[in-house]
Chains A and B, each alone.
Chain A
Amino acid sequence: MEEAKPKTDIGDFTSPQVLEPWKGIKKVAREEYFTSGHRTCQGCESALVMRLMIKAAGPRTIVLGATGCMYVANTTYYSTPWMVPWMHTQLGSAGSAATGTAAALRALMRKGKMEKEPINVIAFCGDGGGADMGLSAISAALQHTQYNLLIFLYDNESYANTDIQVSGSSPYGAHTTFSPPGKAHRIMHRRWKKNTAAMLAAGHPGCKYVATVCSGNAVDTLNRVRRALTIGGPTFIHSLDPCPKGWDYDPKYSHELGELAVETGIWPLYEVEEGKLRMYGKSKHIASGAAKRKPVREYLLRQGRFAHFTEEDIAYFQAKTDEMWEKWLIPGVIPFSRA
């Protein structure tokens, strides 16, 4: 909303914190703000991602957490791992929680009811909360360009907290407790994974920063969080988080599966900063043709959730992935082609 009257004095607090990128793992701050006390599964990538997210943001941050694994498994009463102020929000409310928190800080500081200071606001949600139920609230949050906030979607590709149910962000054909293979129907989940980050970037031109991440490379993730918080306004990061329980693999392979998702081209790494798209990491080489995509078979057959796949299913998955890179207007990102 346009600020019409001089009495709505905008102080320095409306500028975001300046968080310079960390040049290499040895430069990363040692302080942890997501510490002991959580009880996530062995090999849980999302718990690591939470740790990186708040390490990147630092102590002058308020974190809002939507219902999901990273709520239920992390914040048992009297044993919270969060060293920063943290508040639960409803499953579909990550966007609203961030907006309300940022709006309150802005109003209270402008009206002299709170000391002026840039405070980071991060709301996280899972794929159920972000790509499904909370999509409209995130969309609205990304339109309110006067608020500095980050929506962080940790995507383990199912409603993992409630025993692994299929979401709009689950990959085609995945075996979940709501999409089990059976005698009559081998494939119960027939939807293609929602293209959430690109949809939000394309649909919200006022949003200055959208990125996808995969935390096999911690520094890449840390610096994208720092960039999102520094650039100002509402921003969005979508993280692919391998999940040993939901994907059915040995917990020690979490990083490896994340890397494979990138190398097969299933999970493109990119950032859209002030309307400029940049592929990064291995995706950059895939996009430029410098690297060849690995066959999706190498990724799919490492996971029990695809154990029921036939050659036909693998071929379909490969063909759809090929389409992303060969047919899309912007390979791996925007799924149109010119008529």
Chain B
Amino acid sequence: MSPADTATTKQADNEVAPRAETEALISGSEAVAHAVRLADVDVITAYPIRPYDTVMQYVSKMIADGDFDCEYIVAESEHSQFEIVKHASAVGARVFCGSSGVGWFYAFEALAVTAGLRLPMVAMVGNRALDDPGAFGVEHNDALAVRDLGWMLAWVSTAQEALDTALIAYRVAEDPRVFLPCAISCDGAFLTHSQSIVKVPSQAMVDSFLPRYSRGDKQLHPDNPITIAPQVNEDWLMEIRRQSDMAARRARDVIIEAYQDFNARFGRGGEPFIERYMMEDAEVAVIGMGTLAMPVKVAVRKMRQHGRKVGFVRVRWFRPFPARELQNALAGVRAVGVIDRDFSFGSTFFSGVLANDLRSALYPLKNRPKILSFIAGLGGREVRTNNVIDVAGKVFDAASGADIDEQNTYWIGVRE
């Protein structure tokens, strides 16, 4: 086999396949499992940790029932779990794995080199607190920890979006212009375990959207006896880092292309990078990621019933960070409140990770909105509609000139 041949053995059908989807009442984890099946993944590795592991329960049953064919390996640790698929990806296999919380951290070495090696692994993170002390609930610090390494990071808010984003993730990650790994974050319990009606596309629709993974002249094979990851040291490492930087820059356009095509074929998918909710005439905005969308949207609707013009911007892709989209969405508002479901102890103004990146993104704006930073919902604590109304109220106060310290971060729903 010559590696170049694999690129041409099966090209994606450019015809738009007829829309044929079935509806199913499934959880976020099961939705991702369907995406993995439809993507015809070749090698999957599992290791148990709640709450992500539900995806592997669905995947393993699908394999057991013969619904799809892949090598399925239950590893002996998360480190091995991610190392196994890293190496499978280098040989040209499409791969899937995932983890949660400290399990993701146990794999950290593998996560770092997967991005460094430009291997397009797709992983699901069932976001979970980094215990100790023990906690199963959602925090975003697990997935966010790889934000500087070259991983692309998407946060989804519904099971449908989880399925769709997983398909998009394979297409973007495996695009030779990108060749970077991608993690899809699903809030633990709120999404991994919560069911909703999901449209599951046909194989033909997915095949027409998602081309086969080809590693090209970087495939590890006896016909292509390359050496991968030699010692480069100061002689070459900076140039190689620069290549990763350029790939992360190019990912932006590839993501946009993928969403355009996905929207055309599936009739959904929305705007790449961010979701704007009631932002057309908004005077202030709330920003957040993941399933926070549910209480925030309810709060926005409630406040609008009382004539308060608030909107919501949900960040769908954290890496590459959608600075331009956020500048565009927020240039017209007077104040924004960022709700982080994470922490960054000792960071600028003691804010969460999202707030700090957002401040950087909005700094170049001529008329910057005021930016207030909030931390809420840690460890899976429910963020209630009233919590969001409190946040938005404070943002309105800041917008109307009240004396609120912008260089501070406010914890919501915490016993002091």
Contact = CB atoms under 8 A, between A and B. Distances in A.
Interface of A: 1, 4-5, 7-8, 59-62, 64, 71-72, 75-78, 80, 82-90, 92-93, 95-101, 103-108, 110-111, 113-115, 117, 119, 136-137, 139-140, 144
A100 B72 contact: no
5 contacts: A8-B69, A85-B228, A95-B80, A108-B92, A119-B222
B90 A87 contact: yes
A106 B71 CA distance: 8
Contacts of B72: 1
Given A7-B66, A84-B222, A108-B93, A103 B73 contact: yes
B345 interface: no
A104 B222 contact: no
A92 B79 contact: yes
A71 to B, nearest CB: 7
B87 A90 contact: no
A96 B83 contact: yes
A85 B88 contact: no
A206 to B, nearest CB: 15
What 4 pairs across the A-B complex have the smallest Cβ distances? A100-B87, A96-B83, A104-B93, A104-B88
A8 to B, nearest CB: 6
Nearest to B90: A87
A117 B223 CA distance: 12
Contacts of A84: 222, 225
B21 interface: no
Interface stretch (B173-181, B199-207, B231-239): B231-239
Given A96-B83, A100-B83, A108 B42 contact: yes
Contacts of B230: 75-78, 80, 88
Given A100-B84, A103-B43, 4 more contacts: A85-B226, A86-B226, A137-B83, A144-B73
A85 B225 CA distance: 4
Contacts of B233: 77
Contact of A104 (B43, B83, B113, B228): B43
Contact of B43 (A5, A90, A100): A100
Interface in B80-98: 80, 83-93
Nearest to A72: B231
A107 B41 CA distance: 9
A80 B222 contact: no
Contacts of B91: 62, 100-101, 104-105, 108
A61 B226 CA distance: 12
Contacts of A98: 87
B315 to A, nearest CB: 32
Interface of B: 1, 6, 9, 40, 42-43, 45, 64, 66, 69-73, 75-77, 79-80, 83-93, 109-110, 113, 212, 220-222, 224-233, 235-236
Contacts of B90: 87, 101, 104
Contacts of A64: 87
B87 A113 contact: no
Nearest to B3: A114
Most buried by B among A93, A103, A113, A139: A103
B88 A103 contact: yes
A82 B73 CA distance: 29
Contacts of B45: 100
A61 B222 CA distance: 6
Contacts of B66: 4-5, 7
A89 B79 CA distance: 12
A1 B59 CA distance: 14
A111 B9 CA distance: 12
A88 B113 CA distance: 10
B231 A137 contact: no
Contact of B228 (A4, A59, A83, A87): A87
Contacts of B86: 100
B92 A140 contact: no
A271 B110 CA distance: 33
A115 B220 contact: no
B405 to A, nearest CB: 45
A7 B113 CA distance: 35
B227 A97 contact: no
Nearest to B213: A113
B93 A107 contact: yes
Contacts of A76: 230-231
B242 to A, nearest CB: 15
A178 to B, nearest CB: 21
Contacts of A111: 40, 42, 69
A80 B227 contact: yes
B225 A87 contact: no
A137 B78 CA distance: 11
A79 B232 CA distance: 11
A113 B222 contact: no
Contacts of A105: 91
A103 B84 contact: yes
Contacts of A119: 221-222
Given A100-B86, A101-B220, A108-B93, A77 B42 contact: no
A85 B43 contact: no
B88 to A, nearest CB: 4
